[in-house]
């Protein structure tokens, strides 16, 4: 690590306390002038560093810069986040991750970008990703479990992301089947999981979990604005994206390690929004209407149709028609 990398590491571990230039110079083993130069260079990179004459330096809480060093310093996960790639801009972090996964990137590699020019949503939709406004991340998983178990990855990622957001802002986060996170009835996060099958068909070669969380308040076009929101809009709180990324990875690692036990499924059921309500669901070209009566242990949506039949849906799109009465 160079001086700049060590410096950002030390400052990010200080939990908002100032560290004097002399102390930093001693810890890093360089002159105070070298510390000062590294601070200037970090500011050039976009970090906001506060300096007070008698106290020293600290990272400003409003510093919104994505940083692999800061994410690492906050991370408890051992496998996820082993390698973190930060990009200013990419078409889609999922595309970037699939590309490097195909070339051998290791399990747990994470790609995070400040903006995506062609962010992808489910069912061929676009995911709006303005610069610095959200956490746009993709995690490469090389599963050791079967395809059946791998099908649970998306629901586990939804629970992991919901818990991370809730922990940082304190507000309730719900899940709308399959994998959208909602706050106060509006979507704040979407998840897109993409898998590549290798020659060995019992388990995917790799899976890319793409998570997009709207953090800051920003203007959506009229139609989208009715349904989509952000953490800041709903809570008034500005969440640090590095901290959020680390927490998502921590929770995701736990649920990935316990996927076969379906450790996330009770939390998924508890947070799910459609359950109990009259909904419509589209599965390919088929449309059905009925009451969502629950989620089964494979994270399928159970629908009781108008003629009294039951369907367990593993994928598709479902929307609320009427709230339960």
Q: Interface with ligand BTN by CB under 6 A: which residues? A: 92-94, 116, 119-122, 125, 127, 136-138, 180, 190-192, 210-212
Taking the complex as a whole, the smallest distance from the CB of residue 234 to ligand BTN amounts, in Å, to 17
- Indicate if the alpha-carbon torsion angle 283, 288, 292, 297 is positive or negative: negative
Smaller CB separation from ligand BTN, 98 or 264: 98
How many Cα atoms sit within 13 Å of 69 on the Cβ side? 17
Taking the complex as a whole, the smallest distance from the CB of residue 223 to ligand BTN amounts, in Å, to 15
Taking the complex as a whole, the smallest distance from the CB of residue 93 to ligand BTN amounts, in Å, to 4
Rounded Cα gap, residues 28 and 60, in angstroms: 21
Q: Residue 198 burial (CB < 10 Å; 0-12/13-18/19+)?
A: exposed
Smaller CB separation from ligand BTN, 4 or 122: 122
Q: Residue 17 burial (CB < 10 Å; 0-12/13-18/19+)?
A: exposed
Q: Which residues of 266-303 are buried (b: 16+ CB within 10 A; e: fewer)?
A: ebbbebbbbbebbbebeeeeeebebbbebbeeebbbbb
Taking the complex as a whole, the smallest distance from the CB of residue 54 to ligand BTN amounts, in Å, to 43
Smaller CB separation from ligand BTN, 40 or 125: 125
Smaller CB separation from ligand BTN, 127 or 177: 127
Name the residue number minimizing CB distance to ligand BTN. 190
Taking the complex as a whole, the smallest distance from the CB of residue 214 to ligand BTN amounts, in Å, to 10
Smaller CB separation from ligand BTN, 42 or 313: 313
């Amino acid at each position: 690590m160079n001086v700049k990398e060590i410096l950002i590491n030390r400052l990010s571990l200080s939990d908002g306390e100032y560290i004097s230039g002399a102390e930093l110079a001693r810890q890093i083993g360089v002159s105070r002038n070298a510390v000062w130069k590294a601070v200037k260079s970090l500011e050039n990179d976009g970090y906001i560093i506060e300096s007070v004459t008698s106290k020293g330096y600290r990272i400003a809480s409003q510093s919104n810069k994505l940083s692999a060093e800061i994410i690492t310093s906050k991370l408890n996960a051992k496998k996820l986040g082993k390698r973190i790639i930060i990009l200013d801009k990419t078409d889609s972090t999922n595309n970037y991750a699939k590309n490097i996964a195909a070339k051998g990137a290791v399990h747990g590699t994470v790609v995070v970008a400040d903006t995506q020019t062609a962010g992808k949503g489910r069912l061929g939709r676009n995911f709006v990703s303005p610069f610095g406004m959200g956490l746009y991340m993709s995690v490469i998983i090389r599963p050791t479990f079967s395809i059946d178990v791998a099908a649970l990855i998306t629901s586990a990622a939804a629970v992991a992301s919901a818990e991370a957001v809730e922990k940082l802002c304190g507000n309730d986060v719900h899940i709308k089947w399959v994998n959208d996170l909602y706050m106060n009835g509006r979507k704040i996060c979407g998840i897109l999981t993409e898998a590549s099958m290798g020659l060995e068909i019992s388990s995917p070669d790799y899976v890319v979990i793409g998570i997009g969380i709207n953090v800051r308040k920003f203007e959506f076009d009229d139609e989208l604005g009715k349904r989509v929101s952000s953490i800041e809009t709903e809570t008034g709180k500005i969440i640090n994206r590095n901290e959020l990324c680390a927490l998502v990875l921590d929770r995701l690692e736990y649920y990935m390690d316990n996927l076969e036990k379906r450790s996330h499924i009770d939390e998924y059921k508890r947070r799910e929004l459609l359950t109990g309500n009259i909904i419509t669901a589209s599965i390919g070209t088929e449309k059905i209407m009925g009451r969502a009566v629950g989620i089964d242990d494979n994270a399928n949506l159970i629908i009781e149709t108008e003629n009294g039949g039951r369907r367990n849906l593993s994928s598709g799109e479902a929307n609320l028609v009427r709230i339960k009465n």
